[in-house]
A = this chain, B = another copy of it.
Amino acid sequence: MSDPVARLTPLGVAVLALLSEGDMHPYEMIRLMHFRRDDRLVTITNGTVYHTVGRLERAGLIAEVGVDRDGNRPERTTYTQTDAGAAAVLEWVRRELPRVDRPAEFRVALAEVHGLDRDEAIELLQTRREALSAALDSLADGQRHALGKGVPAQYLIEVDRELALLGAELAWMDATLPRIADPDFAWGPEPTPSQRYLAQRKAARQ
């Protein structure tokens, strides 16, 4: 119920992930997320972001660190990630990564999987692989059953597509798991260009 991890939304996770790269005010998050095309994964509007930030603060996952002001522009409230916030992202990723329902959550979890240890990530993805395989079998079974009962094929086009996509995801997993298990595949924190940019800007301010 009041478990803050359970109440995290995909956008909440995206905001926490942003804040792990540096303190920020909501409007800056919106710009940065648009720049990074995070709107591919979650819908980013003023309404959702400001509201989400408010909820994250009430849950103690982020905290206000001051109100600054640039010239005469509106003042802006800057937030920082708390330890509880950093832990909550990882816990949320652990929960969502192996689930095959909730595709939207999974994509965000996959985008944040680099925060986990390599071995744990592989194990969770392996669990998902088995669940995907079972879902595919069950759907294929349903298709056979429906065709057997005389349901005309034109009513089963969507199922046909779903089977194709499930198969493709399984194939991707079977190609990807060995790839990231390979020690030659880099893992763990390595600065991205935008992290280097943020760090540089922070240093310049001091």
Chain A positions near chain B (C-beta within 8 angstroms): 37, 40-41, 103, 107, 110-111, 113-114, 142, 149-155, 157-158, 160-162, 164-165, 167-169, 171-172, 176, 180, 185-188, 190, 192-193
Contacts and interface: CB of A to CB of B under 8 A. Distances in A.
Contacts of A180: 154, 157
Contacts of A167: 168
Nearest to A113: B157
A154 B37 contact: no
Nearest to A187: B154
A152 B192 contact: yes
Given A169-B165, A172-B165, A154 B192 contact: no
Main secondary structure of the interface of A (DSSP, over half): helix
Given A114-B155, A192-B152, A160 B185 contact: no
Given A152-B186, A192-B151, A168 B157 contact: no
Given A114-B155, A154-B185, A165-B169, 7 more contacts: A113-B157, A151-B193, A152-B192, A154-B187, A160-B176, A161-B176, A165-B168
Contacts of A153: 185-186
B186 A157 contact: no
A192 B185 CA distance: 51
Contacts of A151: 192-193
A182 B40 CA distance: 35
B110 A157 contact: yes
Nearest to A173: B161
Given A151-B192, A193-B149, A193-B150, A164 B168 contact: yes
A154 B114 contact: yes
**10 closest Cβ contacts across the A-B interface?**
A168-B168, A164-B172, A111-B158, A110-B158, A152-B190, A114-B154, A149-B193, A151-B192, A152-B186, A154-B187
